[in-house]
Amino acid sequence: MFEEGSEVAQPLSRRDRLRAATVAEIRQTARALLVAEGIEGLSLRAIAREMGMTAPALYRYFPSREDLLEHLIADLYDEVSDAMEAARDQLPADDIGGRLMTVSRVFRRWSVDHPREFALIFGSPIPGVRKEQTGEQADVASVAGRRFGLVFGDLVARGHAAKPMPVPADGDIEPALRLELERWRKEFPVPVPLGLVQLYLSCWVRLYGIVTMEVFGHLDFALDDAEPLFEAELRGLAALLGMPEAYRPPVTAAGR
């Protein structure tokens, strides 16, 4: 039974179904080329060649390489966000610390398993791509990236609301940094102290930093296996957030 005023979704026309299938195939082909050849080998001409299309025909679906990359980045953000949210939701909602540890491990595992995808979305900015817009003008990559960030941001905000974390007072934050943090604070899902924004950013820098170094092989000079160092950093982040009891060793050696 439908509620009064509800609308029944109209089935897609055959033409729309074919277009949607082609768009999906283009994005799948783009990812396969990314994995095989890296971002340098990812061009509309190469994708068209793999699909048996002409390059002009591909432009009917994506007007530029940058537009296609924005959609591919959005797909990848959503994939890692889906994985983190699924793992997060296996734990009780009030286990904020446990959820933070879990999503951090999933982020690392996905990144290590998908180095070229990681490089596309978390590596050096690509000219003309990821404009980081907000509001109604936000591009698809920015919207998906914000969802990814909120997986962490929402947990930190909820954790602080349940048990205030050790954060600096506004007056103790250097004025220039305070101005930057005040601007970025608007992106949080709920009002939070400025010191919590700084704490969150510091934790992200540490988490992102160690994962990036591992993915790009910059820890190979010292470590054959970077996971123990990652776990040590994760333990340190739990203490920094004022929840040292939240750190529990991973269930398996792989941290899954």
CATH architecture of 10-63: Orthogonal Bundle (1.10)
Question: How many other C-beta atoms can be found within 10 angstroms of the C-beta atom of residue 49?
Answer: 15
The whole-number average pLDDT for the span 63-78 is 93
Q: What is the pLDDT of residue 219?
A: 97
Q: What is the pTM of this model?
A: 0.88
Tokens of 104: 């951090």
**Is the CATH number 1.10.357.10 carried by domain 73-246?**
yes
Q: What is the pLDDT of residue 9?
A: 57
Question: Residues for the chain: how many in total?
Answer: 256
> How does pLDDT run across 176-226, given as a tens digit for each residue?
999 999 998 888 878 899 999 999 999 999 999 999 999 999 999 999 999
The whole-number average pLDDT for the span 139-167 is 92
Q: What is the pLDDT of residue 252?
A: 62
SS3 category, 199 = helix
Q: What is the pLDDT confidence band of residue 255, given thresholds at 50, 70 and 90?
A: very low
Q: Whole-angstrom Cα distance, residue 37 to residue 254? A: 27
Q: Whole-angstrom Cα distance, residue 126 to residue 69? A: 9
> How does pLDDT run across 212-235, given as a tens digit for each residue?
999 999 999 999 999 999 999 999
Domain edges within the chain: 10-63, 73-246
Q: Contact at 8 Å (CB) between 196 and 160?
A: yes
Higher local confidence (pLDDT), 242 or 6: 242
Q: Contact at 8 Å (CB) between 244 and 168?
A: no
The whole-number average pLDDT for the span 45-59 is 91
